[in-house]
Amino acid sequence: MSVIPHLINGELVTENGRAVDVYNPSTGQAIHKLPLATRETIQSAIDAAKAAFPAWRNTPPAKRAQVMFRFKQLLEQNEARISQLISEEHGKTLEDAAGELKRGIENVEFACAAPEILKGEYSRNVGPNIDAWSDFQPLGVVAGITPFNFPAMVPLWMYPLAIVCGNCFILKPSERDPSSTLLIAQLLLEAGLPKGVVSVVHGDKAAVDALIEAPEVKALSFVGSTPIAEYIYSEGTKRGKRVQALGGAKNHAVLMPDADLDNAVSALMGAAYGSCGERCMAISVAVCVGDQVADALVAKLVPQIKALKIGAGTNCGLDMGPLVTGQARDKVSGYVEDGVAAGATLVVDGRGLTVAGHEEGFFLGGCLFDNVTPEMRIYKEEIFGPVLCVVRVNSLEEAMQLINDHEYGNGTCIFTRDGEAARLFCDEIEVGMVGVNVPLPVPVAYHSFGGWKRSLFGDLHAYGPDGVRFYTRRKAITQRWPQRASHEASQFAFPSL
């Protein structure tokens, strides 16, 4: 079994000590050993970042952007290799892996605009012979901690922008599927990034705690589950760090009686079962306005769920691969059991699925529950698997109340032909990202990504304009060049025009 190294100060580094196995979820076999960084290893990445910062901070933004242009090309040239690595360790299909990489590359393209996005603000003549401007300066050493479900895209939400803003970045990817993340960081060095500006360290809670506790780390970007997001936010902010911590989700799709049902069903199939439901924007609840819509929806979904093509993600032409680990598969199966015990109607049961030739893989077929009610655990909690729950309500207002009462507020969507209903929904819904006839409203890279309520801790969303604000601090400069002959008397009143 090969050992996956850290990437510190431009060098691949291995260490003896605590390690975990990385699995291929399609075969159920351990394929790599992953060392878990010690405090000393984390400190060496911090030291490298600190040493690289002064020169990188003073590198012209246009030069930093040139690295991003080359990086984008390398990512595109290596798409097949990266997708293969994602699929091998995460389990998602190759097409899905290529899709996440493309959405990640969007963020590199946005970062290519560094000279434009860092231009600052300037006001001439704010007073007699006085000009003022705001400059956006880097924070220094910043760190990112990322989840397993998008090993390429989520890190790319963070460090391209952080580094074109002049920071040095330490990435702690998920321990479950780190190989594509590491390869991508190596491509960034190949693109000409000076060593130390980005390091990748593998690890678990101990590594994350070392980053939280290090005074040199000025900001933390986190994406993962809500309990860990809350922990990182409270521990980080307690130490005076800037933190954006994106957490879990329960995303509802509202189906209005006038919706184009066939298109809504196609959209829901991809949004609920794509990537085996392991997406923070996956639709896991279909809220049907009226029994007629619910009956028709269930009737149309059942044959499509039963026909899902499920197999090893690295085979082409599939709809769904396995879950990421055996533990994740068992957890999702446990929720299915729980839903049945709570009285929901299990219309399609995907448990017990085996894939020929991959009998040890972590597979679970698509599951569908009808008659789900708000007090059930399968409604309240994030399942993070291929399970769609149908909730029946009588009106749009009732649907919106249900969504607004939920603890999570990441994404949601409405399927309708009624502009008035859609407008009301967009205005009043307590959710950070909203789709109208769009099931996965993941904002493009030049808008920002983030949920509301317990789906995000912190003020600024990820990437886009909020990302620029997160990775820079404003300095406001007021400058006066008096005319030589003039003399101005002391002024004891507060300066004003």
Catalytic residue annotation: 280
For tokens 């600024």, the residue is 460
Of the pair 82, 208, the CB lying nearest ligand NAD is at 208
- Is residue 48 within 8 A of residue 196, CB to CB? The reply is yes
Stretch near ligand NAD under the rule CB under 6 A, chosen from 63-71, 129-137, 149-157, 480-488: 149-157
The whole-angstrom separation of Cα 278 and Cα 282 is: 7
Between 390 and 431, whose beta carbon lies closer to ligand NAD? 431
| One-letter amino acid for residue 141 of the chain | V
Q: Which is nearer to ligand NAD, 109 or 204 (CB)?
A: 204
Q: Is 146 in the site for ligand NAD (CB under 6 A)?
A: yes
> Which string of x and - marks every residue 25-64 that binds ligand NAD (by CB under 6 A)?
----------------------------------------
Tell me if 464 contacts ligand NAD by CB under 6 A. no
Q: Which is nearer to ligand NAD, 172 or 392 (CB)?
A: 172
Angle between helix axes 153-164 and 179-190 (nearest 10 degrees) is: 30
Which is nearer to ligand NAD, 196 or 203 (by Cβ)?
A: 203
Find the shortest distance in angstroms from Cβ 36 to ligand NAD: 9
Q: Is 284 in the site for ligand NAD (CB under 6 A)?
A: no
Q: Is 51 exposed, middle or buried (0-12, 13-18, 19+ CB in 10 A)?
A: middle
DSSP lists the bridge partners of residue 134 as 121, 476
Minimal distance in Å, beta carbon 248 to ligand NAD? 3
State in angstroms the smallest separation of the CB of 204 from ligand NAD: 5
Query: Closer CB to ligand NAD, residue 347 or residue 442?
Result: 442
Shortest distance, position 452 Cβ to ligand NAD, whole Å: 11
Q: Tell me: does residue 382 bind ligand NAD (CB under 6 A).
A: yes
Of the candidate residues 89, 455, 466, 467, the single one contacting ligand NAD (CB under 6 A): 455
List all residues 6 or more positions away from 422 whose beta carbon is below 8 Å from its beta carbon.
414, 416, 436
**Binding residue (CB under 6 A) for ligand NAD from 138, 140, 144, 147:** 147
The reply to whether 247 sits near ligand NAD by the rule CB under 6 A is: yes
Among positions 223, 297, 391, 403, the unique one binding ligand NAD when judged by CB under 6 A? 223
Measured CA to CA in angstroms, residue 17 lies from 36, 38, 42, 70, 384 at distances of 8, 8, 14, 36, 32
Using the minimum distance from each CB to ligand NAD, give the nearer residue, 136 or 384: 384
Residue type, 301: L
Q: Cα torsion at 378, 379, 385, 386 (round to 10°)?
A: 100
- State yes or no: residue 271 binds ligand NAD (CB under 6 A): no
Q: Residue 234 CB, nearest distance to ligand NAD (Å)?
A: 12
Backbone φ and ψ for 222, nearest 5 degrees, come out as -130, 140
The tokens for 367 are: 């599951």
State the DSSP string of 192-240.
TPPTTSEEE---SHHHHHHHHH-TTEEEEEEES-HHHHHHHHHHHHHTT
For ligand NAD, the binding residue among 163, 165, 214, 228 (CB under 6 A) is 228
Task: Decide if residue 110 touches ligand NAD (CB under 6 A).
Answer: no
Q: Does 149 bind ligand NAD (CB under 6 A)?
A: yes
# chain residues binding ligand NAD, by CB under 6 A? 28
Strands 29-35 and 19-24: antiparallel
CB atoms within 10 A of CB 65: 18
Q: How far is the CB of 478 from ligand NAD (least distance, A)?
A: 39
Given a contact cutoff of 8 angstroms between Cβ atoms, the answer to whether 170 and 211 are in contact is yes
Q: Which residue has the tokens 């009686």?
A: 257
The site string for ligand NAD over 166-205 (x = CB under 6 A, - otherwise) reads: ------x-xx----------------------------xx
The pair of structure tokens assigned to 82 is 């990266």
Q: Which lies closer to ligand NAD via its Cβ, residue 56 or residue 470?
A: 470
**How far is the C-alpha of 110 from the C-alpha of 466, rounded, in Å?**
12
Q: How far is the CB of 21 from ligand NAD (least distance, A)?
A: 14
Restricting to residues 389-428, name those near ligand NAD by CB under 6 A: 410
Phi and psi at residue 317, to the nearest 5°? 80, 20
**Residue length, the chain?**
497
User: Can you give 357-423 as a three-state secondary structure string?
Assistant: CCCCCCCCCCEEEECCCCCCHHHHCCCCCCEEEEEEECCHHHHHHHHHHCCEECEEEEECCCHHHHH
Q: Which residue lies nearest ligand NAD, judged by its C-beta? A: 224
Indicate the residue among 9 and 410 with the shorter CB distance to ligand NAD: 410
Report the site for ligand NAD in 361-380 (rule: CB under 6 A).
none
Residues in touch with ligand NAD (CB under 6 A)? 145-150, 154, 172, 174-175, 204-205, 208, 223-225, 228, 231, 246-249, 280, 382, 384, 410, 451, 455
